[in-house]
Structure 1
């Protein structure tokens, strides 16, 4: 009997958590573009921030996803701490929708929902339709898991050991209230899903294993326990991201403190809305909703003060030696489309660094004496491009391990290939600067004829680079088509420069190696630009 109870309880909990994950990930895929639009409307208006938090959490059905997303955006400097606080407050309200879904008496329909969903999923090959079906299957698994947990706990009502055990967790004093609240927080921190522990709480109450007061106390604790996800996600993040995570915990702790201090009157207040004796499941969901709405109303005017307090508690990144060059981080993984868009912004920044390198090399071709000033700066650009590539690859390779649709996979692939080509171009620009520096330091002059070819190669390669960068940014296929012609022209200029060099060159001249290397590096840069063209033309 005990094994049967344990197996069914674990199986039911596993199905519930899997259903939540399936539903949440499916909703994120469907709502991804909408989430970006919602976030783009954010201002410092805290009320608007709260509304955004509610909408995001309602869409993805997970406050943990919303708060980790907010922490990630703060870490990437895409949101201010004040804006994130608004989202976090709104997420606390948005997550209460899940509680109302759990009290719907449709557990018996969970199995057929999963069955029909699985059949439709197997026979449908369209990715968008499959994503929508997975959301429906997620709902089915949630209700199936709840029903399994409920049936597994049913025999416990008649077992003296469990009756005695649950009687120890009663809210018969303030100490008892705190104990039960801490149990709720601990269980949620372990499971890392307030929806799961809320479902268990409702199930226990419906089976008569715990009374209404105990259930409400557990719900209060669950609001604290759910903050562990964002807290863990903030480890190693920037100062502002840590502040956002700490704020989430602090907001919920403050809420629990004021509610527990007036718990008796709070219960009386709840009775105004729903009769807990006849509708205990709905009453628990109402307790969850009213707690979070009340807490948001009370704490919203103090968001500015909370911001100031957290600024003092957590030291700034300058004091901690922050060295990241991009705004990308793993905390943004909850919204893949945003990582892809942000990656593109970072790669465009890489292109601007390259253009700066091109302009410095161009000045050196006109005035060789400037090489002593610019050679180190071009080297620094190359070093920075290396950092960009590493951070972009670290984040995007992690992204490819997630379940993405074909369009997002293709965009990620293009971003990574373009990033790699840009970083390699930076290497060749650095080599050009070093070779020109070597010639200058050894007092080896480049005659006017060779300078003419260097200028043409530089101008044509740069023109090709600018066009293809614009094409990458705007996805104008005409620019890639014309880029093929420009690439062919760069190759012909390279061949002519090489031929002219050998026709008019002393075979023992020290100019040979340096000059040939420079024109070859320009050709190699053009080759890497052409690789980008090929990648885009395959789409």
Structure 2
């Protein structure tokens, strides 16, 4: 009997957690484009941040995902500390939706729901249909896993030794409430899923192994245990991200302390909304929701005070390794947000490249302040190297996720465009250094060569702007016109090269000038080639 109980409980728990994972992953995919808009909505308004925290957590069905995502946003500089506190408070409310899902008494239908959804997933044709089936299958597995755990615990009701054990484990005194809360916190910290421990708590209560007061005390502790995920995510992060994680823990611990101190009154208050004798699951879900909603109401006015307090106790980083993008590996659980932010970072790269091109034009046309302009170009090129690396690191991480084909293609496209833009910056730097070297050796470009380079430079800038605008707008219908612009640049290149070679044959010129000029022409041609690569990427 012992093995039978163990197998059913552990099997049910595993299926329950895997169901939560599938449902969470499926809902994230379905909500993908909505998640991409979150950063535009999140402002310094604390109430909007709370609403978005509820919204995101409700969609992804995991407070761990939304809090870790928030830590990532803070670490990347996309959110400030006050904004993150609002999101975290909202996430605490959003996570209570799980309890209300469990209120639905359809455990016996969990297996057929999962089975039908699995068949739909296998035979589904579109990615979206498969995602819906995956989400539904996760929901079915949640209920089936809960049913298995319930069946597994059922024999314990007739075993005197377990009855005696559970009777000792009751929240009928302050010490009992604290002990139950501590057990709930420990269990959640170990499995890192408040949904799993909530499911176990509800199952124990339904089977009568623990009373509803003890179940409520366990749930209080589970709200503390779930903060371990954010704390782990903050390891190695910047000070502001650590502050956000610590705030999550402090808010939940203080909340549990004040509820524990008036636990008897709290239980009586809950009786106004649910009857544990009629539906203990509803009572537990109500307790979970009331705790978090009340906590948010209490702490919202003190967000600024909490932020200032954390600024004092958590010192700023002594050595800050500045990130050049607003991307962070902790955001990997929300791939659509990374994809959206990556595009913004690439458009930022384009802005830097435009600045490099303007400086390069000044070098070619006026020949003044060459050292200053070259220094600026080199600095921007080094920055773009780092941008491209950070984009690659984070985006390769989400490529391992179970993404829809649409998002896989978008991620690949972003990676290719970032790589091509970084290479363009390399060639612009080489051109500027070639001109600087000629200047240092008192070798000047004549007016004819300057005119040729200016013409090619202008055409390359126009081509770059045209392609980048198409990337920004998602315009795929540019192949024909882009190829014509590419051909125009190639014709100018051939013309300049021919004129140069004729002049070399007719007039003696410094070898350094001849070599450098041809290098510059070839560098412009290579920039054009890399922009053609971007066009081909966009046109797929």
Which category of TM-score, normalised to the shorter sequence, fits these structures? Answer: over 0.9
Deviation at 1:508, TM superposition (A): 6.7
Q: Does structure 1 retain, via aligned residues, the 8 Å contact 2:71–2:244?
A: yes
Mapped pair 1:517 → 2:519:
yes
What are the equivalent positions in structure 2 for 1:428-467 lying under 5 Å apart?
Answer: 428-467=427-466
Matched with 2:301 is 301
1:6-30 per-residue CA deviation (whole Å, 9 max, x = no partner) reads: 2221111110011101111111111
Alpha-carbon distance change, 140 to 72 in structure 1, aligned in 2, over 3 angstroms? same
68-77 or 448-457: bigger deviation: 68-77
Q: Which one of 509, 534, 538 corresponds to residue 532 of structure 1?
A: 534
* Separation (CA, whole Å) in 2 of partners of 1:47 and 1:346: 28
Q: Does structure 2 retain, via aligned residues, the 8 Å contact 1:471–1:480?
A: no
Deviation at 1:480, TM superposition (A): 4.6
Matched with 2:159 is 159
Q: Does structure 2 retain, via aligned residues, the 8 Å contact 1:43–1:49?
A: yes
What are the equivalent positions in structure 2 for 1:117-196 lying under 5 Å apart?
Answer: 117-196=117-196
155-164 or 353-362: bigger deviation: 155-164
Deviation at 1:530, TM superposition (A): 0.9
Q: Does structure 2 retain, via aligned residues, the 8 Å contact 1:96–1:285?
A: yes
Deviation at 1:53, TM superposition (A): 2.2
Q: Does structure 1 retain, via aligned residues, the 8 Å contact 2:35–2:337?
A: no
SS at match of 2:31: helix
Alpha-carbon distance change, 151 to 478 in structure 1, aligned in 2, over 3 angstroms? closer
Deviation at 1:333, TM superposition (A): 2.1
Matched with 2:5 is 5
Q: Does structure 2 retain, via aligned residues, the 8 Å contact 1:22–1:134?
A: yes
Q: Does structure 2 retain, via aligned residues, the 8 Å contact 1:39–1:52?
A: no
Alpha-carbon distance change, 320 to 507 in structure 1, aligned in 2, over 3 angstroms? closer
Deviation at 1:68, TM superposition (A): 2.0
SS at match of 2:42: coil
Alpha-carbon distance change, 420 to 334 in structure 1, aligned in 2, over 3 angstroms? same
Q: Does structure 1 retain, via aligned residues, the 8 Å contact 2:81–2:243?
A: yes
Deviation at 1:104, TM superposition (A): 2.0
Q: Does structure 1 retain, via aligned residues, the 8 Å contact 2:36–2:340?
A: no
SS at match of 1:510: helix
Alpha-carbon distance change, 116 to 389 in structure 1, aligned in 2, over 3 angstroms? same
Alpha-carbon distance change, 44 to 434 in structure 1, aligned in 2, over 3 angstroms? closer
5+ residue gaps in structure 1? none
Matched with 2:209 is 209
* Separation (CA, whole Å) in 2 of partners of 1:47 and 1:217: 29
* Separation (CA, whole Å) in 2 of partners of 1:152 and 1:265: 34
* Separation (CA, whole Å) in 2 of partners of 1:273 and 1:447: 88
Q: Does structure 1 retain, via aligned residues, the 8 Å contact 2:381–2:422?
A: yes
Alpha-carbon distance change, 375 to 288 in structure 1, aligned in 2, over 3 angstroms? same
Deviation at 1:322, TM superposition (A): 3.3
Matched with 2:270 is 270
* Separation (CA, whole Å) in 1 of partners of 2:11 and 2:121: 23
Between the two proteins, the alignment pairs up a number of residues equal to: 537
* Separation (CA, whole Å) in 2 of partners of 1:494 and 1:367: 21
TM-score by length of 2: 0.95
1:439-465 per-residue CA deviation (whole Å, 9 max, x = no partner) reads: 111222222222221111211111111
Deviation at 1:45, TM superposition (A): 3.2
Matched with 1:65 is 65
* Separation (CA, whole Å) in 2 of partners of 1:397 and 1:364: 38
Q: Does structure 1 retain, via aligned residues, the 8 Å contact 2:58–2:94?
A: yes
* Separation (CA, whole Å) in 2 of partners of 1:437 and 1:285: 71
Deviation at 1:339, TM superposition (A): 1.1
Alpha-carbon distance change, 448 to 48 in structure 1, aligned in 2, over 3 angstroms? closer
SS at match of 1:224: helix
Matched with 1:471 is 470
Deviation at 1:38, TM superposition (A): 5.3
Deviation at 1:478, TM superposition (A): 5.3
What are the equivalent positions in structure 2 for 1:53-452 lying under 5 Å apart?
Answer: 53-317=53-317, 319-452=318-451
1:190-247 per-residue CA deviation (whole Å, 9 max, x = no partner) reads: 1111111011001111112212221111110000011111222222223322222211
Alpha-carbon distance change, 507 to 150 in structure 1, aligned in 2, over 3 angstroms? same
* Separation (CA, whole Å) in 1 of partners of 2:370 and 2:382: 18
Q: Does structure 2 retain, via aligned residues, the 8 Å contact 1:234–1:242?
A: yes
* Separation (CA, whole Å) in 2 of partners of 1:250 and 1:202: 26
Q: Does structure 1 retain, via aligned residues, the 8 Å contact 2:220–2:256?
A: yes
* Separation (CA, whole Å) in 2 of partners of 1:37 and 1:519: 43
Matched with 1:496 is 495
Q: Does structure 1 retain, via aligned residues, the 8 Å contact 2:76–2:323?
A: no
203-212 or 214-223: bigger deviation: 203-212
* Separation (CA, whole Å) in 1 of partners of 2:397 and 2:37: 24
* Separation (CA, whole Å) in 2 of partners of 1:480 and 1:342: 26
Q: Does structure 2 retain, via aligned residues, the 8 Å contact 1:188–1:226?
A: yes
* Separation (CA, whole Å) in 2 of partners of 1:510 and 1:69: 54
5+ residue gaps in structure 2? none
